[in-house]
């Protein structure tokens, strides 16, 4: 195909957007709503995953060292814990540090009362261990409790189980919602473009009679669909930015949510700006082009 | 112009359309054509006449490869339509000029664009389109309406645009399916005169009509189809020749 023909077909596609403005607007609205539904669902999904991962990261295991352990045993224990696997970080917290920390957190009266008891520090030496995979928490803690010099292991396995359940259930729901939305969107979009193509079926018919190939007929429709898809993507991106920033500010401005979820529990829009823009533009263009390809195929068979 | 002169020299020598023992039975069980054999030679002007349901439209559909023959072979402009693959149909149609009863102009395109579209489809050079299209539009007397849209034209004018579109690609054969069916009787003669003029320049014309007055007036080769068979295929003199 010559460059002049490509220019002509692209020009036809662009001018068709305006010439069929009512249909273009209908397709635009449907695509906008569809892209927004899918886009916001995906954004909610990745943020909830981040929140859950953040909470998981805070889940520590406390390994209490036997009181009569020698320094060698205590030192060897650190590498033994690391050797178990599924261990992210290990930090030693001596009984002296624990005592000091406890006293600091007390009221003045309590401090006065306890300062004389320092010589009889009853607190144990501990290791604070964070695990990599919360799903293997129970197995990891069981293995830690069998190590030499370990008195006991304190871990909230129940909490870990709850988090795992939440994450799994959420992942399934999020995936199901996104897949369902994508299917619904494709059906709606292909029906909308079909209406648009149906309205011009006579035009397509005439083109076939004068010897136009299927490709020659489809290209302007595909360009038209792609342009409408890209316009819808730009609008969806702008709306998403406002909605996202609004929700983000709501979270960041709420101290209670902050303290529960952590300061960096949500992605800031600046960090996801580029991938979101690219994803919207790509999805808009692809859905627009595919939608029109599906719907024109039926009418080019003359 | 040289091309049309060459065609004229071969008048009667080259077969453009050949039906060889062709039958068409629709899925509904209706026999539309029964074992017809027919030849349209280069340079012919042939009227295909017959009552409604006689098989005229089926004949046109076969030539355009809208449908396939149930039996027999159809050859058009050197294409054996039985062997022609679906994706090659555009190649066949590009060798034809087609004029329909209902004009079938693209409503969103101007007169110029409607005519130029045929050349764009075959990837014609821009320069050629710019010179050829105004020339063909002026041939049908519509140079002053080149920028008008079909809805701004009368029936006769729309049919002339359709004729220009059929002509622009300099086809070997023009199929005119009831080209006068939707226009005033006075204008009908104008359209057929135009077709006659095109034919005199060497282009073969196959015109389907049920208007006997026109056939009687112009004369020429008459192919009468009745109940799916050729009842009559002869050349008669026209009233305007006497």
The predicted model gives A16-44 an average pLDDT of 86
Last residue of a domain, one of A134, A155, A176: A155
Query: Residue B168 and residue B191: Cα distance in Å, rounded?
Result: 16
CB contact under 8 A, B104 and A2: no
B154 neighbors B120 (Cβ within 8 angstroms): no
Task: Establish if A42 belongs to a structural domain.
Answer: yes
pLDDT classification of A51: cutoffs 50, 70, 90: confident
Q: Are residues A227 and A269 in the same domain?
A: yes
Q: Are residues A249 and A108 in the same domain?
A: no
Work out the burial of residue A16: count CB atoms within 10 Å of its CB; fewer than 13 is exposed, 13-18 middle, 19 or more buried.
buried
Last residue of a domain, one of A116, A135, A155: A155
Percent of chain A past pLDDT 70, that is, above it, reads 91
CB contact under 8 A, B121 and A213: yes
Q: Are residues A72 and A133 in the same domain?
A: yes
Instruction: List chain B residues with CB under 8 Å of A205.
Output: 104
Separation in Å, CA of A275 to nearest CA in chain B: 39
Containing domain of residue A242, as a range? 3-55+162-297
Q: Are residues A40 and A173 in the same domain?
A: yes
The predicted model gives B207-211 an average pLDDT of 90
Q: For position A3, what pLDDT does the model report? A: 77
Residue A116 is given by DSSP the state G
Instruction: List chain A residues with CB under 8 Å of B61.
Output: none
Q: Are residues A116 and A202 in the same domain?
A: no
Residue A169 is given by DSSP the state H
Query: Residue B26 and residue B42: Cα distance in Å, rounded?
Result: 30
Residue with tokens 């077969």, as numbered in its chain: B15
Task: Establish if A302 belongs to a structural domain.
Answer: no
CB contact under 8 A, B93 and A202: no
Last residue of a domain, one of A155, A188, A213: A155
Q: Are residues A135 and A232 in the same domain?
A: no
Least confident of A89-93, A167-171, A234-238, B226-230: A167-171
pLDDT score of A60 more than 80: no
A interface with B, Cβ–Cβ below 8 Å: 1-2, 4-5, 8, 16, 19, 202-203, 205-214, 216, 302
Residue with tokens 């995979």, as numbered in its chain: A133
Residues in chain A: 302
Residue B18 is given by DSSP the state E
Domain count, chain A: 2
Query: Residue A171 and residue A50: Cα distance in Å, rounded?
Result: 12
Alpha helices, DSSP H, located in chain B: 2-9, 56-63, 89-93, 111-121, 126-139, 155-167, 185-200, 212-218
Domain of residue A122, CATH code = 3.30.70.3040
Question: Which residue of chain A comes nearest to B90, CA vs CA?
Answer: A211
B165 neighbors B118 (Cβ within 8 angstroms): yes
CB contact under 8 A, B104 and A206: yes
Span A228-272, pLDDT tens digits: 999 999 999 999 999 998 888 887 777 666 666 665 678 888 889
Q: Are residues A193 and A253 in the same domain?
A: yes
Instruction: List chain B residues with CB under 8 Å of A3.
Output: none
Q: For position B2, what pLDDT does the model report? A: 36
CB contact under 8 A, A210 and B105: no
Q: Are residues A94 and A176 in the same domain?
A: no
CB contact under 8 A, B90 and A211: yes
The interface predicted TM-score of the complex, written ipTM, equals 0.81
Query: Residue A50 and residue A53: Cα distance in Å, rounded?
Result: 5
Q: Are residues A139 and A284 in the same domain?
A: no
CB contact under 8 A, A5 and B123: yes
Query: Residue A163 and residue A166: Cα distance in Å, rounded?
Result: 5
Q: Are residues A144 and A263 in the same domain?
A: no
Q: For position B161, what pLDDT does the model report? A: 95
SS3 of B73, please?
A: strand
Least confident of A47-51, A90-94, A116-120, B159-163: A116-120
């Amino acid at each position: 195909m010559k460059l002049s023909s490509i220019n002509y077909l692209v020009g036809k596609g662009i001018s068709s957007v305006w010439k069929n403005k009512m249909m273009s607007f209908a397709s635009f609205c449907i695509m906008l709503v569809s892209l927004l539904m899918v886009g916001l669902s995906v954004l909610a999904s990745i943020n909830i995953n981040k929140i859950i991962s953040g909470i998981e990261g805070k889940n520590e295991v406390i390994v209490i060292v036997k009181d009569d352990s020698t320094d060698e045993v205590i030192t060897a224990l650190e590498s033994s814990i690391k050797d178990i696997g599924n261990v992210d970080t290990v930090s030693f917290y001596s009984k002296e540090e624990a005592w000091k920390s406890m006293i600091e957190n007390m009221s003045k009266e309590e401090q006065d009362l306890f300062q004389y008891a320092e010589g009889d520090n009853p607190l144990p030496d501990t290791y604070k261990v964070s695990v990599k995979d919360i799903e293997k928490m129970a197995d990891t803690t069981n293995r830690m409790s069998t190590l030499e010099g370990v008195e006991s292991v304190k871990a909230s396995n129940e909490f870990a189980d709850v988090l795992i359940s939440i994450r799994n259930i959420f992942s399934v729901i999020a995936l199901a919602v996104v897949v369902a939305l994508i299917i619904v969107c494709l059906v709606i979009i292909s029906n909308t473009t079909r209406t648009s193509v149906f309205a011009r079926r006579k035009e397509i018919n005439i083109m076939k009679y004068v010897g136009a190939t299927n490709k020659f007929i489809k290209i302007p429709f595909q360009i038209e669909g792609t342009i409408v898809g890209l316009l819808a993507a730009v609008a969806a991106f702008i709306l998403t930015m406002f909605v996202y920033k609004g929700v983000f500010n709501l979270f960041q401005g709420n101290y209670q949510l902050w303290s529960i979820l952590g300061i960096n529990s949500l992605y800031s829009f600046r960090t996801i700006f580029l991938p979101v823009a690219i994803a919207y533009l790509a999805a808009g263009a692809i859905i627009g082009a595919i939608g029109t390809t599906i719907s024109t195929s039926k009418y080019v068979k003359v | 112009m040289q091309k049309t002169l060459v065609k004229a020299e071969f008048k009667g020598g080259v077969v453009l359309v050949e039906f060889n023992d062709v039958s068409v039975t629709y899925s509904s069980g209706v026999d539309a054509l029964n074992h017809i054999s027919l030849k349209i030679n280069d340079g012919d002007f042939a009227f295909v006449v017959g009552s409604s349901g006689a098989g005229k439209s089926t004949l046109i559909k076969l030539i355009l490869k809208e449908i396939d023959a149930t039996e027999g072979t159809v050859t058009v402009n050197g294409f054996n339509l039985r062997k022609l693959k679906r994706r090659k149909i555009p190649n066949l149609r590009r060798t034809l000029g087609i004029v329909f009863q209902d004009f079938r102009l693209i409503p969103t395109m101007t007169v110029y664009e409607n005519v130029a579209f045929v050349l764009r489809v075959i990837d014609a050079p821009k320069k050629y389109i710019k010179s050829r299209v105004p020339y063909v539009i002026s041939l049908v007397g519509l140079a002053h309406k080149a920028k008008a849209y079909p809805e701004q034209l009368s029936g006769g004018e729309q049919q002339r645009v359709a004729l220009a579109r059929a002509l622009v690609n300099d086809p070997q054969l023009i199929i005119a399916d009831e080209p006068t069916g939707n226009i005033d009787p006075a204008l009908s003669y104008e359209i057929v005169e135009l077709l006659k003029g095109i034919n005199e320049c060497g282009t073969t014309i196959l015109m389907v009509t049920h208007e006997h007055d026109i056939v009687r007036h112009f004369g020429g080769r008459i192919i009468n189809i009745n109940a799916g068979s050729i009842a009559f295929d002869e050349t008669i003199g026209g009233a305007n020749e006497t």
